[in-house]
Structure 1
Amino acid sequence: MADFDTQIKESQAQVAEAQAKISAITSRIEAARSKLDQGVVLDVENATLEDVSKHTDLMNANIAELIMGLDDVTAGFSAEFAEMRTKTGMESFIGIFSSAKAESMRQERMRAATIDDKLQDLISKSDVIVKLLQGQLDLLNVQKTKVEGNLAGTLVEREETVGALEAVRKEVASLDPKIIELENKISVEQDAAARTKLETELATLNAQYNALVQDEQVKLAKSQTLERYIEKGKTWVDSLQNQAATQLVLINKLQTDTKQRVVLYDALTSSLKTAQQQDVAHRINEIGVKTDQEAQTAMAAIGAATNDKMADMLEAHEG
């Protein structure tokens, strides 16, 4: 992965940009929350959320590509280790003159072969990616906690606001029949003093009614603002939750891959050693067979010589 460092830098830049966008949205939500009493409308539009979503999708796709790159490298190493068992060009050339020397060179090469540096390189690359993902996950969790905390307080406030709104509406509704009753009394009252008194009472009720209606409108507007804030906040929390889930999936894949790579590399190491041991054992067996054959030949020669000697002695005795 010659371009791993370049890809990491690109991913780091994308993560930094994503974190800036995410923090900006959370800040806007928090700012709007602090100004709800002033009727400030939350200005986090769906387009903004979609922009963050698209950017994080691109970021995660690039990181996933890095992860798949590690898989490709691992597969390449597996093939490389398999080829270690075959003779190199130099060993084959030496073998023309001395097969024993060529085999000795191959055995030494296999004995010296190590995959620790390759394994550590892959693990270090994996750790770099995990660190990148973990940093993003930590930020997402912090932002989610902030928004959830604000939402919890806002839900309580909206519940209280809705309760107060309903209470005001009941008061307004209770004044309607009283006003109608006074208006009817005034319409039939002939006495000027009594009529004036009724009109004063009606004016008081109307003022109270108007104040309640105004209060109802204020509470309704606040309730609607809180509702919009809650809706946007929940959407943002869901987005943060989904992003965090994606980070966890990638982190778990990397951690699982790392464990599997250790197992694979241990297996490759054992395979190399086993192959070497098998080759040595085979060589020893070949040497043993050859020695046995030479011994048998020697014994046969000794036996033949002994027989010849005994035959000569018998002939001499008979003579």
Structure 2
Amino acid sequence: MADFNTQIQQSQQQVSEAQAQIEAITSRIETARAKMKAGESDIDIENASLDDVHAHTDLMNANIAELIMGLDDVTAGFSKEFDEMRSKTGWETFVGIFSKGKSEAMRQERMREASVQDKLQDLISKSDVIVQLLEGQLTVLNEQKTKVSGNLEGTLDEREMVVGELETLKAEIQGMDPKIIELENKISVEQDAAARTKLESELARLNEQYNEMVQQEQVKIAKSQTLERYIEKGKTWVDSLQNQAATQMVLINKLQTDTKQRVVLYDALTSSLKTAQQQDVAHQINEIGVETDQKAQTAMAAIGSATNQRMAEMMEKHEDHMVFAREVLEAKAKSDERFARRFEKIVEKHDKNLYGG
């Protein structure tokens, strides 16, 4: 399990670094928004940083996915180990030829010292640690998404207003063209100097107003383009955060379902071990040829009645247990399918042992 511990530590470090990068990009977006409010138009949110976050997040999730599949492998290995616990070893069978009691004592001692349940509990504990890690990352992703979405909402409203102002300005500029053309035509045919001078003064004012409006149009266009660029960067980051959150939820779902399955397995192993021991004791009692008196027979009858009642209760509970176990297995199948779709390459590499290729 040392490798698991090392991988968990690596994952914790990777998650911490990813969170720092995510917060840095969100901070850069917030800074860009503040600059726009201050009237600065030179806004740039580096794509390189976003690519770095994606690369780092992919590495982090790949490492966690490998961890999860490693936990699955260890869990699957319990079946063989448990079968070995229930059956006698070659040496125990050999000893049984000479001393059945000694053979049984050796097997029971080995069962008492067996650590399958401890290992299973350790796996459940490690699953919980990874789930907590992923849930912490999911919380950060959702917090950052809320921040950026809030900024975007304000920016979208602002751009809508700027575009509206721009359209109004364009309409006013287009409306001035006929007036200017009309004045220019009047000036070209006007013979009176005083009237001509008046028309030229009016044309100069219109041209000045026209030029000012054209300049405003350029400013509005620049602002609209800046807002548009900011919006596109923000949307890209929100989409990235949503995709990352979706991946985290797939991993969390897989781990939580696996943990439920391991709890079922833990209960099954415990019950089976107890049943095996009870069967051994029953066989031993059955083999003891002791004559019993009436009181003993009465006592045994009472015990038998109580045992039958207990057995009926156990069978009823067993049905509930099997229904729950079936539900867990169905949920696990769905969880594994989602996990396999999301991490297809990692699953293929794991299943075909294509490491280092």
**TM-score range for the pair, normalised by the shorter chain length:** 0.7 to 0.9
Shift of 1:209: 0.4
Give the whole-Å Cα distance in 2 for the aligned partners of 1:110 and 1:117: 13
1:40 alignment partner in structure 2? 42
Give the whole-Å Cα distance in 2 for the aligned partners of 1:82 and 1:232: 57
Q: Is the 8 A contact 1:151 1:230 kept in 2?
A: yes
Query: Which digits, 9 at most, give the CA deviation of each residue in 1:268-293, with x for residues without a partner?
Result: 111112222223323333445xx69x
Shift of 1:116: 4.5
Q: Is the 8 A contact 2:15 2:137 kept in 1?
A: yes
Q: Is the 8 A contact 1:137 1:244 kept in 2?
A: yes
Give the whole-Å Cα distance in 2 for the aligned partners of 1:18 and 1:158: 32
Aligned residues: 289
Q: Is the 8 A contact 2:45 2:233 kept in 1?
A: no
Q: Is the 8 A contact 1:94 1:102 kept in 2?
A: yes
Name the aligned partner's letter for residue 32 of structure 2: A
Name the aligned partner's letter for residue 224 of structure 2: S
Give the whole-Å Cα distance in 1 for the aligned partners of 2:119 and 2:257: 18
Shift of 1:119: 3.2
2:277 alignment partner in structure 1? 276
For the aligned residues, what is the CA RMSD?
2.0
Name the aligned partner's letter for residue 5 of structure 2: D
Give the whole-Å Cα distance in 2 for the aligned partners of 1:70 and 1:213: 67
2:10 alignment partner in structure 1? 10
Q: Is the 8 A contact 2:127 2:255 kept in 1?
A: yes
Q: 2:86 is paired with a residue of what secondary structure?
A: coil
Unaligned runs of 5+ in 1: 293-319
Query: Which digits, 9 at most, give the CA deviation of each residue in 1:167-192, with x for residues without a partner?
Result: 00011011111111111111111111
Q: Is the 8 A contact 2:18 2:53 kept in 1?
A: yes
Q: Kindly tell me: are residues 3 and 112 of structure 1, through their superposed partners in 2, closer, same or farther at Cα, counting changes over 3 Å?
A: closer
- TM-score when scaled to structure 2? 0.76
Give the whole-Å Cα distance in 2 for the aligned partners of 1:142 and 1:84: 49
Sequence identity percentage: 77
Give the whole-Å Cα distance in 1 for the aligned partners of 2:74 and 2:117: 15
2:240 alignment partner in structure 1? 239
Q: 1:101 is paired with a residue of what secondary structure?
A: helix
Q: Is the 8 A contact 2:43 2:226 kept in 1?
A: yes
Name the aligned partner's letter for residue 144 of structure 1: K
Q: How does 1:192-211 map to 2 (within 5 A)?
A: 192-211=193-212
Query: Which digits, 9 at most, give the CA deviation of each residue in 1:133-166, with x for residues without a partner?
Result: 1121111111111110110001000100000000
Q: 1:43 is paired with a residue of what secondary structure?
A: coil
Instruction: Compare relative contact order (CA 8 Å, sep 6+) and give the higher one, 1 or 2.
Output: 1
Name which one, 1 or 2, has greater alpha-carbon Rg: 1
Give the whole-Å Cα distance in 2 for the aligned partners of 1:38 and 1:209: 25
Q: 1:167 is paired with a residue of what secondary structure?
A: helix
Q: How does 1:54-73 map to 2 (within 5 A)?
A: 54-73=55-74
Q: Is the 8 A contact 2:155 2:227 kept in 1?
A: yes
Q: How does 1:1-319 map to 2 (within 5 A)?
A: 1-36=1-36, 37-45=39-47, 47-88=48-89, 91-92=92-93, 94-95=95-96, 97-110=98-111, 115-288=116-289
Shift of 1:234: 0.7
Name the aligned partner's letter for residue 45 of structure 2: D
Shift of 1:97: 4.0
Query: Which digits, 9 at most, give the CA deviation of each residue in 1:17-64, with x for residues without a partner?
Result: 21222122112211112222311232322x432322121111101001
- TM-score when scaled to structure 1? 0.84
Q: Is the 8 A contact 2:142 2:245 kept in 1?
A: yes
Give the whole-Å Cα distance in 2 for the aligned partners of 1:118 and 1:12: 22
Give the whole-Å Cα distance in 1 for the aligned partners of 2:92 and 2:173: 102
Give the whole-Å Cα distance in 2 for the aligned partners of 1:75 and 1:134: 26
Name the aligned partner's letter for residue 228 of structure 2: E
Which 10-residue stretch deviates more, 49-58 or 109-118? 109-118
Q: 2:43 is paired with a residue of what secondary structure?
A: coil
Q: Is the 8 A contact 1:33 1:150 kept in 2?
A: yes
